[in-house]
Amino acid sequence: MIEASRIAHSIGITLDRFIKNNQDQFQFASGELSQILRDIALASKVVNREVNKAGLIDIMGPIGTSNMGGESQQKLDILANIRFTRALTKGGEVCALISEETESYVDLNNEGKYVIAIDPLDGSSNIDVNVSIGTIFSVYRRKTPVGMAITERDILQKGSDQVASGYILYGSSTLLVYTTGHGVNGFTYESTLGEYFLSHPNMEIPEDGKMYSINEGLSNSFSEGVKQYLNYCKTNNYSARYIGSLVADFHRNLLKGGIYIYPATTQHVHGKLRLTYECNALAFLIEQAGGKATDGLTRILDIEPKDLHQRTPFLVGSMKMVEKAEQLLNTT
Ligand code: P6P
């Protein structure tokens, strides 16, 4: 008799099944976090469909407005923000969110116990040239009691207070990678079934690597320490890999080992990247995967945020590479 498995290969573990199988690890009301992850996954499927249609329908290019950081907003930025906001509002577990696309936090008028910080579509300027882009999200528990008015205290939380974080990479395939503080797992989207399947279990970043990601076109404005580290990379024949899309560079470095650096520059004296909805999420993930994330001096997750759109210098990746970079930044 032919083994069933020889005829029908297992289709693997769906994201839903994985969340259900692991929800008892989550120290708070696990069903609520599961709902949030499902809401994010649902929104990402809609965004994925729209990203893949860019070029066929009129959703590319700028809309003529700028976000809080003065960066030109792309049509897909706004669309993605709407999709994630709607999904989280309907899911009912999130009471407020801060987004790169909104000036202040958005009260979702839910009795939810959680708060989201999100960059709905990072690297969106790459959309028109078909380069991978991503969504980055952090999940926190609200500080104020349910029923009370939302305050900035609910939003301005240290990265170490995150209960979950992750990203979606809209690339050659679409991946959702997340952590709830018990390791990092990645899921690949199978669009014909409309499901994410576990494809990257227990992701761990190599302790060391030979790839560095930085915009060397800005090097005249780097500090001496950053220049010293770049010189160290070149002396050791490291490869420069800079996609210009944070999530894509981060994901490659997570898989192969490497370091991503966006330091202070003359144009961005506190760095370009945002603490609340970009760096904290990736810092939580990289530490869970055995790597390191710092502003050059301080652990990213220990930084006390003062402003919703606060920028920070950002070094993230393999433990030994970040440690070497920090050593040169702080001795030069
Ligand atoms: P630059 C995209 O705008 C982004 O926020 C990251 O995704 C990316 O790594 C970085 O900025 C690129 O910035 O100044 O090198 O073009």
Nearest CA to ligand 1 atom 13: 244
243 CB neighbour count, 10 Å cutoff = 19
In this structure, are 54 and 179 located in the same domain? Answer: yes
Q: Give me the CATH number covering residue 218.
A: 3.40.190.80
| 188 CA from centroid of ligand 1 (Å) | 24
Kindly report the average pLDDT of the chain as a whole number: 92
Residues with CB under 6 A from ligand 1: 122-123, 125, 215, 244-246, 272
In this structure, are 184 and 272 located in the same domain? Answer: no
Nearest CA to ligand 1 atom 10: 244
User: In this predicted model, which residue has the larger pLDDT, 128 or 25?
Assistant: 128
Instruction: Give the Å distances, CA to CA, from 208 to 292, 317, 323.
Output: 11, 9, 10
Nearest CA to ligand 1 atom 12: 244
Q: Which residue range forms the structural domain that includes residue 162?
A: 2-200
- Residue 139 banded pLDDT, cuts 50, 70, 90: very high
Q: Give me the CATH number covering residue 102.
A: 3.30.540.10
Please, which residues have CB within 8 angstroms of residue 84's CB and are 6 or more apart in sequence?
40, 43, 47, 97, 99, 116, 118, 120, 135, 137
Structure confidence by residue, pLDDT tens digits, 224-264: 999 999 999 999 999 999 999 999 999 999 999 999 999 99
Helix (H) or strand (E) holding 166: strand 164-170
Please state, in angstroms and rounded to a whole number, the distance separating the CA atoms of residues 165 and 257: 20
For residue 215, the ligand 1 atom closest to its alpha carbon is 15
| 233 CA from centroid of ligand 1 (Å) | 21
Confirm whether 206 is domain-assigned.
no
| 273 CA from centroid of ligand 1 (Å) | 8
In this structure, are 233 and 170 located in the same domain? Answer: no
In this structure, are 66 and 14 located in the same domain? Answer: yes
Nearest CA to ligand 1 atom 9: 246
In this structure, are 167 and 243 located in the same domain? Answer: no
Instruction: Give the Å distances, CA to CA, from 111 to 38, 83, 88.
Output: 18, 20, 12
Confirm whether 276 is domain-assigned.
yes
| 20 CA from centroid of ligand 1 (Å) | 35
Structure confidence by residue, pLDDT tens digits, 184-216: 999 999 999 999 999 999 999 999 999 999 999
Q: Is the pLDDT of residue 220 over 70?
A: yes
| 272 CA from centroid of ligand 1 (Å) | 8
- pTM of the predicted model over 0.75: yes
For residue 134, the ligand 1 atom closest to its alpha carbon is 7
In this structure, are 162 and 262 located in the same domain? Answer: no
In this structure, are 189 and 246 located in the same domain? Answer: no
Ligand 1 probe mutation, 136, 272, 277, most atoms within 8 A of CB = 272
Q: Which of 200, 232, 247 is the last residue before a domain boundary?
A: 200
Q: Which of 172, 200, 228 is the last residue before a domain boundary?
A: 200
| Of the candidates 141, 30, 39, the residue with the CA atom closest to the CA atom of residue 85 | 39
